[in-house]
Amino acid sequence: MIDYHLHTSRCCHATGTLDQYLAEAEKKELAEIGFADHFPLGLLGIEPRNQVTMDPEELEKYMKQVNTLKKNSHLVKVKLGVEIDYLPGTEKKVEQLLGKYDFDYVIGSIHFIGDWDFTHPVYAEDYKHQDMDDLYRRYYELVARVCESGLFDIIGHIDVVKKFGYRPDDNLDSIRLETARLLRESGTCLELNTAGRDAPVGEFYPDRGFLALCCSEGVDITLGSDAHAPDQVGRYFPEAVRLLKKAGYRELTVFERRAKSKQPL
């Protein structure tokens, strides 16, 4: 099994060393892991109210450390990934920066709508002042832009806007179908992210219906725990694998220097 969404203490809201994450992956007999720590927002010219990514000067050290682990790890294959915030207007900058580095894969994630970090527990109260239909519509517009940008290999936690349990009244069927088609057309991979089970919403990103729809539309899939502590590596994976199979998936997508290949689930 693979876990493509691991953080490190560099982002300042996760704990544990890379070795501890690797040791946990060995214990859980994972075949492959990928670190995908938060790319420095400072390099995109953005300074959020709370620090949620590594500092710009940490990036080289992060890459070096993961690359060293890659060479030295024999039981578990290690990949160098990164999770980059998608913010409209930063596309050129991201493209330029990605040209400079040699990642195995790049996850594009939406954590911000405007300057609101809607995934951060500190700002969860702000949901109470939102129109949910409008919020979900704006969120999925950003998802569409992630796909259209062509900058990212994987979209992170695709329906994370549900994280705190706020739901729209509107039916999301047509938005989901449009999203699944955009993912396929742009070659953007979906991830089944198991972290949502431990969030107030209590379910994976995405839920079973969205997952099945993506499978039937031919969208590729990866798997990630979004671990922010070593003991979260591979969390809920037996359940995730059952869900993936039920949804119709038979293969997982893996990456090497941003080239895709498939392996049996």
Q: Does 179 bind Zn ion (CB under 5 A)?
A: no
Nearer to Zn ion, 12 or 259 (CB): 12
Placement of tokens 């809201």 in the chain: 13
Nearer to Zn ion, 109 or 253 (CB): 109
Nearer to Zn ion, 54 or 219 (CB): 54
188: closest CA among 94, 96, 256, 105? Answer: 105
Question: Which of 107-115, 170-178, 183-191, 239-247 is the region at the interface with Zn ion (rule: CB under 5 A)?
Answer: 107-115
Nearer to Zn ion, 7 or 176 (CB): 7
Nearer to Zn ion, 80 or 155 (CB): 155
Q: Does 225 bind Zn ion (CB under 5 A)?
A: no
- CB of residue 74 to Zn ion, shortest distance in Å: 28
Q: Residue 193 forms beta bridges with which residues?
A: 205, 224
- CB of residue 213 to Zn ion, shortest distance in Å: 22
Q: Does 109 bind Zn ion (CB under 5 A)?
A: yes
Residues 144-163 binding Zn ion (CB under 5 A) are 156
Question: Which of 58-66, 71-79, 108-116, 189-197 is the region at the interface with Zn ion (rule: CB under 5 A)?
Answer: 108-116
- CB of residue 13 to Zn ion, shortest distance in Å: 6
- CB of residue 258 to Zn ion, shortest distance in Å: 19
Q: For Zn ion, which residue has the nearest CB?
A: 109
- CB of residue 188 to Zn ion, shortest distance in Å: 15
The answer to whether 242 touches 22, Cβ cutoff 8 Å, is: no
Residues 238-257 binding Zn ion (CB under 5 A) are none
Nearer to Zn ion, 156 or 230 (CB): 156
Site residues, Zn ion (CB under 5 A): 109, 156
